Amino acid sequence: MKQSIPNILTLTNAFAGCVALVFIFQQDWTNALIWLTIGFIADFLDGGVARALGVSSELGKELDSLADMISFGVVPGAIMYQLLQKHLIAAHWNEYLAFSGFLIAVFACLRLARFNLDTRQTDSFIGLPTPACTFFVIGLLLIDWQQLIGVKLVAQPFVLLGLCLLLSWLMVSSIPLFSLKFKHFRWQGNQIRFLFLGLSIILILGVKTAALVPIIGLYILMSLGNNAFE
């Protein structure tokens, strides 16, 4: 029975992503975010539970990528599609450009397939992880939905299209990005993680729900800085 527990969590992530997708197309953002949160929690737990129970498997690894493709591939693509469609129509642009939002899903698919074959990404990442990309897109949604700081910028179709292309490229780029996984909680060896978490808390306290976009931007910039000094 214990062998099935991590896989149940992974499949919970997949189910939550599917339900979130329905609410996204209904533009019911509250329920969409609730189900996305369930997916994030299940995805966070499945690997740790598998290691704790000593039941890690190739099946679990493949299931994880398939579930992530829904929650962190198709879902952010659908959110970006909805944002693009809204602002393309408002700006009298061709609304078919909104389908560009699904480039995020396409490149997430490529990233996840590569991730399973890449033995370098055990303690760090090569390219932007799909959950980080999803957090960024959710941040754009919150800014637009709740009319937060930066809403005028997010409302520009060329900004959304540019971010869509940038996020797609970052996911399959060769840029090393640090992992937030702690092997221990000593300062030495975790400096960049503690610094990132501290700055993220400051951003959350300062701009609240508008913080997701700058937090992911900070993550990328700190990774670039860390690479330069290594």
Q: Per-residue pLDDT tens for 119-131?
A: 676 667 899 999 9
Q: Is 228 contained in some domain?
A: no
Tell me: pLDDT of 4 over 80.
yes
| Of the candidate ranges 65-69, 89-93, 144-148, 185-189, the one whose mean pLDDT is the lowest | 185-189
Tell me what the mean pLDDT of segment 168-196 comes to. 87
Instruction: Provide the token pair at 20.
Output: 């979130």
Give the helix/strand (H/E) hosting 119. Answer: none
User: What percent of the chain is helix, strand and coil (3-state, nearest 5)?
Assistant: 80, 5, 20
Of the pLDDT bands very low, low, confident and very high (cuts 50, 70, 90), residue 146 is very high
Q: Are 142 and 210 in contact (CB under 8 A)?
A: yes
Beta-strand ranges (E) seen in the chain are 124-126, 176-178
pTM of the model: 0.93
Residue 228 confidence (pLDDT): 76
Tell me what the mean pLDDT of segment 207-230 comes to. 90
* DSSP characters over 147-179: T-TTHHHHT-HHHHHHHHHHHHHHHHS--EEE-
Tell me: pLDDT of 189 over 80.
no
Instruction: Provide the token pair at 153.
Output: 């910028």
Please give the Cα distance from 3 to 18 (Å, whole number): 24
**Cβ-based neighbours of 5, under 8 Å, separated by 6 or more:** 49, 53, 55
Q: Are 111 and 130 in contact (CB under 8 A)?
A: yes
Q: Is 116 contained in some domain?
A: yes
Q: Is 47 contained in some domain?
A: yes
The CATH number covering residue 91 comes to: 1.20.120
What is the extent of the structural domain holding 39? 2-180
Q: Is 218 contained in some domain?
A: no
Domain count, the chain: 1
Q: Is 90 contained in some domain?
A: yes
Dihedral of CA 38/40/45/50: which sign? positive
Q: Is 213 contained in some domain?
A: no
Do the bridges between strand 124-126 and strand 176-178 make them parallel or antiparallel, or are there none, so unpaired? antiparallel
Please give the Cα distance from 198 to 194 (Å, whole number): 6
